[in-house]
RNA sequence: GCUUCUUUAGCUCAGUUGGUUAGAGCAUCUGACUGUUAAUCAGAGGGUCCCUGGUUCGAGCCCAGGAAGGAGCGCCA
C-alpha cells in the first residue's frame, strides 16, 4: 500500500477504507492511543490499538519519538478530540527511541523553555512550536517568490563571496585559503593577499544591493533572496551573524513607488500567511495568548497575533518624514518629561526608544519614515533638492523595529562621485557600479527586507534565533 | 562591547536568619487501570546546588573573580 500523508488522511472523507501512514510518535496514551505526526501538518492522527489482541513486543517499542508505519482502517472517531482515527491492523516499528535517552531531549512530552529548545536546535523541529514556525517560514519564502514572480520581477543571484566592502554595512567575515599560521607576507610584512585564492582580499556578502542595481538597470525589475553575513558582535534578540535578506531593485521607480511596493509586499506576505497557514498560525496564536495571560497587563500584546497580521493587511502604513518625526517626538510626553535616554535633535540618528515610541505609542501601526539627513545614511541614497536630506525610507514594525530599509538611489554620476568623496568610498573599487550611471542612467529604487524579522512578525516569536533552523550568533555555531 | 537579571534532579522551579538527611510538579522506570486527549492511581530511581577561590565551627545561601544564558542598549536587516 502507498503511504498517505497525515494532512491528506485528516482531510479524507473515505472512512471505511484502509490507509498506511508513517510518522513519529508524539504520545502513547492508555496503551491504546498513538498520536502520530509526520510533519505534513501540525495535527496528529490518532491510531487506536486493540492492545488486548496485539503483539506485546511491538507495543513495548512504541514510545514517544519512535518512527512507525501504521496500517489500518480509517474510521470516524469515537472520542471527541478528532474527527477521524485509524483502527490499527498492523504496526511496523521503523526506528525505536529509547525513553531513558529521550527524556534528556526536547522531545519528552512536556512544555519546554525556548532557551532549552535552542540548545537542541537539531531536535526542536519535532516540537509543535518549531514545526509551525518552520512550515510558516517556508510559506513566507514561497509567498515572496510568488509576489515578485506575479509582478514580472526576475530572481537574481548575487554573489556570496564579494571583493568590495563599499557599502560599509558592517563588519565582514574574511574568506581565505591562506595558511593562518604562516601566511605569505609582502615586503612590508603585511599578509600578501595576492597569493590568496582570488588574488585579493574577499569577504562574505553583507548586501547584494549594488549588484542588484546592475541587474535592475537592464532587466528592469529584479530581486535577490539569499544569505547575508555580518560579523558584528550583536547580542540582541533581532540580530544574526548569518541571515537571509530580500532586496528588490526597480528601474524608473522613485521613493513613492518604492514605498508603495514595500507596503503592498508586506501586506501580501501577511495576507498569504493568514490564508495559507491557518492551523500553524492558530497554534502560535493560542500559544501567545496563553503566555500573555500569565504576564502583567503592561507586558501583554495590545493586539493578539492574528489581529496584528490582519491589522497590517487592513491598514495604511503611516508615512512621515524624518523631520516630521523629530517634531512629533519633541511634542511627545516622554520627551517633555525627560523620559528618553537619548536626546532628540534634528540630525541625530533615531534610537530604538524613539522608533518604538512612534510605532507603539503615537501611531500604533507600521510606520514609514523618509527623507533622513544625508550624513546618517549610506552614500548611494539620492540627495534631495533641499541639499540636507536623502530619499531614504525605513519601515518600522511594532516589537521588531526596522524591518525594511530602502531608498531611491543616486542616479546622477557627478553627485554620486561627490558622495563617494564625502563618505570616503573608493571610486576606483566601485568603477563597475559607477558605470551604470555612465551608460543610460535612470532613476531607480529598492529596499532590503530582513527575512527572519518578517518571519518573527508573522509567527509572533520574539527572538530571531527561534525563526531560523540553525542560528549563527556570536560564540554560537552549533550543529 | 555596555547595563541588568538568572544559573539547584532530564525539564520547569521552590529552598526561611548561614545549621544536621536539599524539595515539588512534569518526565523516566515498576505495578494497577483501560475510549484516552499534557490519561489516572500507587511506588521507585534520579543532585559536581555553574566553576574557582575566600570568610566561617559550619556555605545552595555571605564575599571576590570567572563562565554560560535571558532581557535591554549600541551596530543594523
Q: Are A298 and A397 contained in the same domain? A: yes
Nearest C-alpha neighbor of A104 from the set A62, A65, A59: A65
- Please report whether residue A221 resides in a domain: no
- Please report whether residue A240 resides in a domain: no
CA–C1' span, A119 to B47, in Å?
21
Q: Are A265 and A390 contained in the same domain? A: yes
pLDDT in tens, chain A (479 residues): 999 999 999 998 888 999 999 999 999 999 999 999 999 999 999 999 999 889 888 999 999 999 999 999 999 998 888 999 999 999 999 999 999 889 889 998 888 999 999 999 999 999 999 999 999 999 999 999 999 999 999 999 999 999 875 556 678 898 999 998 899 999 999 899 999 999 998 999 999 999 999 999 999 999 999 999 999 888 899 999 999 999 999 999 999 999 999 999 999 999 999 999 999 999 999 999 888 887 777 778 888 899 999 999 999 999 999 999 999 999 999 999 888 888 999 999 999 899 989 998 899 889 999 999 999 999 999 999 999 999 999 999 987 888 999 999 999 999 999 999 998 888 988 999 999 999 999 999 999 999 999 999 999 999 999 999 999 998 888 88
- Please report whether residue A406 resides in a domain: yes
Report residues 450-479 of A contacting strand B, contact meaning Cβ closer than 7 Å.
Answer: 450, 452-453, 462-465, 475-476
Domain count, chain A: 2
C-alpha–C-alpha distance, residues A329 and A352, integer Å? 13
Q: Are A20 and A84 contained in the same domain? A: yes
Instruction: Give me the pLDDT at residue A109, please.
Output: 82
Nucleotide nearest to A104 (CA to C1'): B10
Nearest C-alpha neighbor of A445 from the set A256, A298, A167, A253: A253
Q: State whether the beta carbon of A15 lies below 7 angstroms from any atom of strand B.
A: no
What φ, ψ does residue A159 adopt, rounded to 5°? -70, 150
- Please report whether residue A410 resides in a domain: yes
- Please report whether residue A133 resides in a domain: yes
Q: Are A150 and A95 contained in the same domain? A: no
Q: Is the pTM of this model over 0.90?
A: yes
Q: Classify A353 as helix, strand or coil.
A: helix
- Please report whether residue A181 resides in a domain: no
β-sheet with A174-175: strand ranges across: A161-162, A202-204, A174-175
Q: Classify A400 as helix, strand or coil.
A: coil
Q: Distances from the Cα of A374 to the Cαs of A354, A421, A423, A462, in angstroms?
A: 19, 13, 10, 32
ipTM of the complex: 0.89
CATH code, domain with A86:
2.40.50.140
Q: Are A14 and A153 contained in the same domain? A: no
- Please report whether residue A474 resides in a domain: no
Q: Cell triple for residue A212?
A: 542588484
Cβ contact A21:A4 at 8 Å = yes
Cβ contact A207:A245 at 8 Å = yes
Nearest C-alpha neighbor of A442 from the set A280, A296, A288, A251: A251
Nucleotide nearest to A244 (CA to C1'): B77
Q: State whether the beta carbon of A195 lies below 7 angstroms from any atom of strand B.
A: no
Report residues 312-371 of A contacting strand B, contact meaning Cβ closer than 7 Å.
Answer: 342, 349, 351-353, 356
Q: Quickly count helices (H) and strands (E) in chain A.
A: 15, 16
Q: State whether the beta carbon of A293 lies below 7 angstroms from any atom of strand B.
A: no
CATH code, domain with A419:
3.30.930.10
C-alpha–C-alpha distance, residues A333 and A349, integer Å? 20
Q: Cell triple for residue A25?
A: 510518535
C-alpha–C-alpha distance, residues A382 and A415, integer Å? 9
Q: Helices A413-422 and A431-438 meet at what angle, rounded to 10? A: 150
C-alpha–C-alpha distance, residues A141 and A25, integer Å? 29
Angle at A317 between CA A315 and CA A323, to 5 degrees: 150
- Please report whether residue A192 resides in a domain: no
Q: Are A10 and A151 contained in the same domain? A: no
Q: Are A98 and A132 contained in the same domain? A: no
Instruction: Give me the pLDDT at residue A111, please.
Output: 84
Q: State whether the beta carbon of A33 lies below 7 angstroms from any atom of strand B.
A: yes
**Alpha-helix residue ranges (DSSP H) falling in A223-332:** 255-276, 278-293, 305-314, 322-331
Q: State whether the beta carbon of A104 lies below 7 angstroms from any atom of strand B.
A: yes
C-alpha–C-alpha distance, residues A452 and A241, integer Å? 12
C-alpha–C-alpha distance, residues A100 and A22, integer Å? 23
C-alpha–C-alpha distance, residues A312 and A129, integer Å? 23
Residue burial A131-150, b: 16+ Cβ < 10 Å; e: rest: bbbbbbbebbbebbeebbee
Q: Are A139 and A280 contained in the same domain? A: yes
Q: Are A284 and A392 contained in the same domain? A: yes
Q: State whether the beta carbon of A198 lies below 7 angstroms from any atom of strand B.
A: no
C-alpha–C-alpha distance, residues A412 and A299, integer Å? 48
Q: State whether the beta carbon of A30 lies below 7 angstroms from any atom of strand B.
A: yes
* DSSP characters over A188-200: TSSB-GGGSTTSS
Q: Cell triple for residue A125?
A: 523541529
Q: State whether the beta carbon of A266 lies below 7 angstroms from any atom of strand B.
A: no
Q: Are A277 and A395 contained in the same domain? A: yes
Which residue in the block uniquely carries the three cell numbers 522608533?
A355
Note the strand B nucleotides within 7 A of protein beta carbons: 1-2, 10-13, 26-29, 33-39, 68-77
CA–C1' span, A385 to B22, in Å?
73
C-alpha–C-alpha distance, residues A411 and A19, integer Å? 62
Q: Classify A36 as helix, strand or coil.
A: strand
Report residues 388-417 of A contacting strand B, contact meaning Cβ closer than 7 Å.
Answer: 401-405
Domain encompassing residue A78? 6-103
Q: State whether the beta carbon of A437 lies below 7 angstroms from any atom of strand B.
A: no
Amino acid at each position: 500500500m502507498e503511504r498517505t500523508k497525515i494532512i491528506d488522511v485528516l482531510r479524507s472523507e473515505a472512512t471505511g477504507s484502509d490507509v498506511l501512514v508513517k510518522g513519529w510518535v508524539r504520545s502513547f496514551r492508555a496503551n491504546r492511543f498513538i498520536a502520530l505526526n509526520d510533519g505534513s501538518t501540525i495535527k496528529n492522527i490518532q491510531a487506536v490499538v486493540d492492545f488486548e489482541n496485539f503483539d506485546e513486543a511491538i507495543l513495548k517499542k512504541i514510545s514517544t519519538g519512535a518512527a512507525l508505519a501504521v496500517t489500518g482502517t480509517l474510521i470516524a472517531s469515537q472520542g471527541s478530540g478528532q474527527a477521524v482515527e485509524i483502527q490499527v491492523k498492523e504496526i511496523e516499528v521503523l526506528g525505536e527511541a529509547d525513553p531513558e535517552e529521550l527524556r534528556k531531549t526536547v522531545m519528552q512530552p512536556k512544555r519546554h523553555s525556548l532557551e532549552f529548545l535552542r540548545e537542541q536546535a537539531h531536535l526542536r523541529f519535532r516540537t509543535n512550536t518549531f514545526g509551525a514556525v518552520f512550515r510558516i517560514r517556508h510559506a513566507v519564502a514561497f509567498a515572496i517568490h510568488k509576489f515578485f514572480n506575479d509582478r514580472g520581477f526576475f530572481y537574481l543571484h548575487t554573489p556570496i563571496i564579494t571583493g568590495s566592502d563599499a557599502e560599509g554595512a558592517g563588519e565582514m567575515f574574511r574568506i581565505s585559503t591562506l595558511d593562518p599560521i604562516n601566511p605569505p607576507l609582502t615586503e612590508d610584512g603585511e599578509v600578501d593577499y595576492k597569493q590568496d585564492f582570488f588574488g585579493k582580499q574577499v569577504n562574505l556578502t553583507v548586501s547584494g544591493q549594488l549588484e542588484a542595481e546592475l541587474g535592475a538597470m537592464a532587466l528592469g525589475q529584479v530581486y535577490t533572496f539569499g544569505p547575508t553575513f555580518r560579523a558584528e558582535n550583536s547580542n540582541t534578540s533581532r540580530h544574526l551573524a548569518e541571515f537571509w535578506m530580500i532586496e528588490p531593485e526597480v528601474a524608473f521607480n522613485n521613493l513613492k513607488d518604492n514605498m508603495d511596493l514595500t507596503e503592498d509586499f508586506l501586506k501580501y506576505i501577511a495576507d498569504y500567511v493568514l490564508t495559507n497557514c491557518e492551523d500553524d498560525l492558530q497554534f502560535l496564536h493560542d500559544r501567545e495568548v496563553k503566555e500573555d495571560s500569565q504576564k502583567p497587563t503592561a507586558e501583554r500584546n495590545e493586539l493578539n497575533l492574528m489581529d496584528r497580521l490582519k491589522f497590517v493587511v487592513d491598514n495604511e502604513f503611516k508615512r512621515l518624514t524624518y523631520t516630521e518625526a523629530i517634531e512629533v517626538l519633541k511634542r511627545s510626553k516622554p520627551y517633555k518629561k525627560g523620559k528618553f535616554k537619548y536626546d532628540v535633535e534634528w540630525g541625530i540618528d533615531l534610537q530604538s526608544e524613539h522608533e518604538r515610541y512612534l510605532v507603539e505609542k503615537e501611531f500604533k501601526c507600521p510606520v514609514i519614515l523618509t527623507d533622513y539627513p544625508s550624513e546618517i545614511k549610506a552614500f548611494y541614497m539620492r540627495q534631495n533638492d533641499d541639499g540636507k536630506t536623502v530619499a531614504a525610507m525605513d519601515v518600522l514594525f511594532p516589537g521588531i523595529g526596522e524591518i525594511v530599509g530602502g531608498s531611491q538611489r543616486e542616479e546622477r554620476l557627478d553627485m554620486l562621485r561627490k558622495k563617494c568623496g564625502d563618505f570616503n568610498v573608493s571610486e576606483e573599487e566601485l568603477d563597475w557600479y559607477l558605470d551604470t550611471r555612465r551608460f543610460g542612467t535612470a532613476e531607480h529604487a529598492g529596499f532590503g527586507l530582513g527575512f527572519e524579522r518578517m518571519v518573527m512578525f508573522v509567527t509572533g516569536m520574539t527572538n530571531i534565533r527561534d525563526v531560523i533552523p540553525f542560528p549563527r550568533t556570536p560564540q554560537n555555531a552549533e550543529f
